[in-house]
Amino acid sequence: MSRSPSLPDRPTLDVDPESSPEEHFDALQDHYGEILDVHEQLQSQLEEVESRREELREEVDRLQRENETLKTASLYLATVEDLPEDGSAVIKQHGNNQEVLTELSPRLADELEVGDRVAINDSFSVQRVLDDETDARAQAMEVDESPTVEYDDIGGLDEQLREVREAVEDPLVNPEKFEKVGVEPPSGVLLHGPPGTGKTMLAKAVANQTDATFIKMAGSELVRKFIGEGSRLVRDLFELADQKEPAIIFIDEIDAVAAKRTDSKTSGDAEVQRTMMQLLSEMDGFDERGDVRIIAATNRFDMLDSAILRPGRFDRLIEVPNPTEEARERILEIHAGDMNVADDVAFADLARETEGFSGAQLASLATEAGMFAIRDDRDEVRREDFDAAYEKLVAEGEDDVGPNYPSYIR
């Protein structure tokens, strides 16, 4: 804490009794000037002290609020399971899944609905209702209201893009086409292939074209520790999509919850299977002509349970392989489109030399080439930069680049 400012010295008046009236008057004027200087100094110090007092008062208020917060007991999250007509509620606490019957205040009794998330204290009394923004499901879901990926940003996947557009875009944009022909659109689309081949970009591009909300969730996020949490999250996923329709649900790494069932009796495997059953149930009850479409992706197609692949769930299975030579050339042109590339760079030659590269690896190749040019303090990217980038990528992942890539996901 800063020290208080010292007071200025008090001016004194020393007048020679034998001085003339003029000298006496001049001395009085000088003394008056000194008094004015002291007054200004005191006024300045007073303003500083008042400002400091306000700062200390605000600090005291802040500390008092923090102290009150620290003394306040923490609340627990719970979900309303049932609402009997006697003004009580059956709630299930998150974490331990303990169900409790508790009395409600008249205000909360009129406000609560089954499925609401609430905050409860140690005695299980409902303190307040949590709104949608406080919902825990937002922690596991990535919601993009307007993806920026366009069809022109995707290279070498013309056939796959056409199939995805037929199954996802047309039912959302032109549902009358299916009504006139008298066929139901595919219930879901499953994209399978090696990592980095553009499965997520395909889904985002379709969401952008349809002005649909893009809701992405990793399959591993659906695997929960306690019984029932994964199933609840699956229900939340479809409820959120229904609230934000038109929407596209994209479940990445779906093999995490849809792997082939085994005879394992462990609680973890049983919970994963319960979550998969809930996912199958939601897909079976899906409004096929609604404004919500579902896309899933996996790079372990061989691990998927046959139940999730049957007609009515994922009707359209689309393989997204590593790009061909022609596709690699197109991908390099896309990712190097904004780069200052020298005349000695031929994308056709690079495409021939990058056999086995995925689209994501080709994007990394272009980025690394640009980094080598920056390292040499040049403003254009030469062929030697692409060669150095190629060697760097191959050295960093010999098992992930080229013909050494695992055969089960080719």
Asked whether 303 and 255 are in contact (CB, 8 A), the reply is yes
Q: Is 115 annotated as a binding residue?
A: no
Q: Residue 65 corresponds to which tokens in the numbers above?
A: 């609020």
CA torsion, ordered 265, 271, 276, 277, to nearest 10 deg: 80
What's phi and psi for 101, nearest 5 deg?
A: -95, 120
Could you give the CA distance from residue 390 to residue 388 in angstroms, rounded to a whole number?
5
Could you give the CA distance from residue 410 to residue 322 in angstroms, rounded to a whole number?
7
Q: Is 266 annotated as a binding residue?
A: no
Amino acid at the residue 278 = Q
Sign of CA dihedral 135, 293, 208, 156: positive
Q: Is 335 annotated as a binding residue?
A: yes
Asked whether 304 and 255 are in contact (CB, 8 A), the reply is yes
What's phi and psi for 233, nearest 5 deg?
A: -65, -35
CA-wise closest residue to 339 among 379, 385, 393: 379
Could you give the CA distance from residue 406 to residue 403 in angstroms, rounded to a whole number?
8
Q: Is 182 annotated as a binding residue?
A: no
Q: Is 217 annotated as a binding residue?
A: no
Q: Is 225 annotated as a binding residue?
A: no
CA-wise closest residue to 248 among 285, 217, 276: 217
- Cβ partners under 8 Å of residue 207, min gap 6: 144, 147, 213, 214, 248
Q: Is 354 annotated as a binding residue?
A: no
Which ranges constitute the DSSP H helices of 341-410? Answer: 347-353, 359-375, 383-396
Question: What are the binding residues?
Answer: 196-201, 335
Question: What are the binding residues for ATP?
Answer: 196-201, 335
